[in-house]
Amino acid sequence: MRIIESIPEMQQASEGWRGEGRKIALVPTMGYLHEGHLELMRAVRPHSDVLVISIFVNPAQFGPGEDFERYPRDLERDIRLATETGVDIAFIPQVKEMYPGGYQTFVNVTEVTGPLCGRSRPAFFRGVATVVAKLFNIVKPHASVFGEKDFQQLVTIRRMVQDLNMDIEIIGHPIVREADGVAMSSRNAYLTPEQRRKAVRLNRSLREAQTLVQGGEKTGGAILKKVREVLAEGDDVRIDYAQLCNPGTLQEVTRITGPTLLALAVHVGVARLIDNSVLNPST
Ligand code: AMP
């Protein structure tokens, strides 16, 4: 695996591959890789000639007081795991090259970034859309893969690509979970063993909601009541949001009439965990 740190070097390399007709796929990450990231890479590997991952903890998507400084980092391990997974290129830029002095351009996707995480993390999606647009201009991929764990992020990127006529295929990948159902996340590293046990409640609440919906429950309020019961706020557990929305627009829904996104953000200890599931009513 080749490591590229400089933006012009990455652009020139990609230009060369494109000239040779090779298909480039990009998996953007913030590093501290886990099986969730690696599954995204494995999924796109057979469909790409050059598999590029980026490792960049993007300061623009962290708000004041959030965990930018203490976000877990282990570059040596990331490089080993990416190499073992068959990645061709790890693009690892420096903050000062991505956002040099005088930087002042941001991508603002408006409606779909309003609800859910947009409420509690107002700068987040602007930072995400901006860095992903930059990565697309630098790596020039034909396709790029994003996890459904960050469902709103995936919807935002799809919107950006469509609205700005970016000629890039966006591929969504299902959530990768630990054996006990907890969605894999670099932030799980923040959890104490006791908090880690409580983190199971997120996925459990999603499953209970699905059971209710399959049993014919259509009232959003009843479903969210069950979800809140299972999440059981208290010691170390605080719900940021538990919401039902249209999976395309992310607008809130109160009655289940078709596939409906149940999205959760829950503080467990110092970690803010997100998870989601698309609930399908029985027909
Ligand atoms: P991150 O490093 O957290 O920015 O994540 C990089 C990419 O991996 C994003 O597209 C995430 O949605 C995706 N990802 C992270 N965790 C998971 C997971 N458990 N399942 C599926 N995709 C994931």
Confidence label for 282 from pLDDT (cuts 50, 70 and 90): confident
User: From ligand 1's centre to the CA of 185, what distance in Å?
Assistant: 7
Asked whether residue 222 carries a pLDDT value surpassing 90, the answer given is yes
Q: Is residue 266 within 6 Å of ligand 1 at its C-beta?
A: no
- Tell me, yes or no, if 37 is annotated catalytic: yes
Tell me: the pLDDT tens digits for 2-48?
Answer: 999 999 999 999 999 999 999 999 999 999 999 999 999 999 999 99
Confidence label for 217 from pLDDT (cuts 50, 70 and 90): very high
Report, as an integer, the average pLDDT of 145-168: 98
Report, as an integer, the average pLDDT of 261-277: 98
User: From ligand 1's centre to the CA of 149, what distance in Å?
Assistant: 6
Q: What is the mean pLDDT of the chain?
A: 97
Question: Quick one: DSSP state of residue 197?
Answer: H
**Terminal alpha carbon distance of the chain:** 48
SS (H, E, C) 92-147: CCCHHHHCCCCCCCCCCCCHHHCCCHHHHCCCHHHHHHHHHHHHHHHHCCCEEEEE
Catalytic residue among 37, 47, 142, 173: 37
d(CA 205, CA 226): 7
Q: List all residues 6 or more positions away from 260 whose beta carbon is below 8 Å from its beta carbon.
A: 213, 244, 245, 246, 247, 253, 278, 279, 281
How many C-alpha atoms does 172 have within 13 Å on its Cβ side? 13
Reference 240, options 186, 276, 190; nearest CA is 276
Q: Distances in Å between the alpha carbon of 85 and those of 89, 142, 208, 211?
A: 11, 20, 35, 36
201 against 283, higher pLDDT: 201
How far is residue 134 CA from its own chain's centroid?
17
d(CA 27, CA 262): 25
Q: Which secondary structure element, helix H or strand E, spans residue 275, and what is its range?
A: strand 271-279
Tell me: the pLDDT tens digits for 52-81?
Answer: 999 999 999 999 999 999 999 999 999 999
Report, as an integer, the average pLDDT of 161-187: 98
Q: Is residue 43 within 6 Å of ligand 1 at its C-beta?
A: no
Residue with tokens 């000639």: 49
Residue minimizing CA distance to atom 12 of ligand 1: 147
Residue 240, both tokens: 């940021």
- What are the phi and psi torsion angles at 240 (to 5°)? -85, -55
Residue minimizing CA distance to atom 6 of ligand 1: 29
Q: pTM of this prediction?
A: 0.98
